[in-house]
A and B are shown apart, each in its own frame.
Chain A
């Protein structure tokens, strides 16, 4: 039947809620940021011009519109700092997501194959770190990774190294922090798809002559792709914009776009350039999102 019949009237009204939410908390702020990105810095309050003043009359408003320009976007493209920051953000996000997938998949698979009552325990173990504040956990890592920290003490005690290794302020430390923080976001969607999958499909594949690695590549992995997609997106998108972890754990010689944004906003007080950088970041992130959605739609059409 038509989808209209499915919802009773009150339910139909409630269905508007997500759109109201989107307009209020996404589109309106987005319009503000877009407008600021087209403005110029000024030593004023707010620190940019032109300012739309609805009380100043129609002509003033028209003048303000005319004063908008895309100069900030030109700057973003022409100045290496920004290009490097974008490239670094994407590189870090891709590397970290691949690491997360390689580490998260076996964990999720193992969880999904546990006896039912142990699965719940494993689930709690995956979620338990969330009970501690994110910042505290990152500071804990600083403690572990510093010169005389836990990691170096262990390595020295085991005679694996002869002097303390420099961990802090390196990319390694940053990747450890990112992988540690985002692992649950990779594991949970993977686990959800793998747990739903019938183990008898793997038996059928091996019955038809597939050795274990082929069973995995030809049956298990393709069937878990929706979970892989969800996990990759859940990790990749926030990592691109990540600010705290690289700021606390990585060195300061190469900045990610989140750090650059922060610098522009708070150190340089250049709101327009920061806004333009944020807009570009959003557009960059839309690409994988749209790709994923198209892929899902195609899968759905196939399924029908």
Chain B
């Protein structure tokens, strides 16, 4: 059954390749790589291991160096410092056409003078593959990305989604050890982007190939990648799974960059077993769970995701013995943002600050609907808080 899928023999071939690193070894090792343009340090000492079969995302705002890093992996830029090891071999200075790495370009970079078939076959012809084999492989790729019947079209006779598929097929045709994707979905509209995300993940799993995707869209990175590297000003700020990145951001900047968050600046006041009490300017004293990595004294920030803030009219229903540990903040509803699945309330606290609470609209008929200026209690548990150095 599985053998009939056009992609499976690709995976088998990839797995059997000599250059493929032994289990446990990283496929790609980036060691202290840096790149300077003039006086601008675009990539500043990045080290990173990527395992075979991973779907890795480089996430960051524009200008953070993620594209430069990707271009160094493809060979379009040579690093000023550091090594790039692919299967144990340093390829930092190798030219793009000498690397077993292919790239899917932002805006696709399809050859406008070549048909879909010739675009996909381009890399195979350069590899000196026999004609008959090329024809088979192209047919395989066309089937893989579901472009049957469009082989003779030129790129400008295709829709955006179709062009994206051609670009993907062209990059996959050579069965690279590593596929780089530069903002692969940025040019698609929202609906198509979501369905294509799923297809990319499914394809990556099926081919067992290693993908590195560069994106500025955190939702895209969270959905597709098994691991995310967040870049800021040329450095890797955090490398973690999507869940860890969201629930345990390492810095205030990451907490704010990934998703929405409420932040309360303050100072550590006292320790009570596994709890810390932090005095904040805007929300009074907050009880938080002690962080895994001890934070120093001095200025701290308490971070809480909006969906972890609960609202009620009279405060949390008391649970014996736990009530004392729950943070409750009184305030009035200052703003309501209905988003369909959820509603975001902005609560103006009596202590001065504001807190955002995201409430799931779990019933069709109004159950927990608050109105503007209504008095509410916003509450959350110590475990839902993250303490960050300020």
Chain A residues with CB under 8 A of B101: 207
Q: Name which residue of chain B comes closest to A214, CB basis.
A: B126
Flag A178-219 by CB within 8 Å of B: 1 or 0 each.
000000000000000000001011011111111100100011
The answer to whether A203 touches B109, judged by C-beta atoms less than 8 angstroms apart, is yes
A303, CB-defined interface residue at 8 Å: yes
Complex: A41 Cα to B103 Cα, angstroms: 73
B1 at the interface (CB under 8 A from A): no
In the complex, whether B257 has a CB less than 8 A from a CB of chain A is no
Q: Digit string of A227-238 for contact with B (CB within 8 Å is 1, else 0)?
A: 000000000000
Chain B residues 90 to 114 lying within 8 A of chain A, measured CB to CB, are: 95-97, 101-103, 105, 107, 109-113
Partner of B112, one of A206, A214, A223: A223
Judged by DSSP, the binding face of A is helix
B residues less than 8 Å from A200 (CB atoms): 105, 107, 109
B97 touches A206 (CB 8 A): yes
Q: Would A207 and B74 count as touching, CB distance under 8 A?
A: yes
Chain B residues, Cβ within 8 Å of A223: 111-113
| Interface magnitude class on chain A | 20 to 34
Closest to B100 in A: A209
Structural contact, B109 and A222, CB atoms closer than 8 A: no
Q: Which of A201, A203, A210 contacts B76 (CB 8 A)?
A: A203
The verdict on B310 contacting chain A, using a C-beta distance below 8 Å, is no
Which of B110, B113, B126 makes the CB contact (< 8 A) with A210?
B126
- A302 on the B face (CB < 8 A): yes
| Bound Cα distance A206, B102 (Å) | 10
CB distance from A194 to the nearest CB of B (A): 14
Q: Are B154 and A302 in contact (CB under 8 A)?
A: yes
Bound complex: CA of A222 vs CA of B113, how far in Å?
Answer: 8
How far is B101's CA from A207's CA once the two chains are assembled, in angstroms? 8
Q: Is the CB of A203 within 8 A of B111?
A: no
Question: Separation in Å of the A276 CB from the closest CB of chain B?
Answer: 43
B127 touches A209 (CB 8 A): yes
What residues of chain B lie closer than 8 Å to A302, measured between beta carbons? Answer: 154
Q: Which residues of B (315-366) have their CB < 8 Å from a CB of A?
A: none
Closest to B96 in A: A206
Q: Is the CB of A207 within 8 A of B113?
A: no
9 CB < 8 A contacts A-B: A198-B109, A204-B109, A205-B111, A206-B96, A207-B96, A207-B102, A208-B97, A208-B122, A211-B95
Q: Which residues of B contact A (CB under 8 A)?
A: 74-76, 95-97, 101-103, 105, 107, 109-113, 122-123, 126-127, 154, 156-157, 170, 174
* New A-B pairs, 7, CB < 8 Å, besides A203-B74, A209-B127, A209-B174: A200-B107, A201-B109, A203-B96, A206-B97, A208-B102, A208-B170, A218-B122
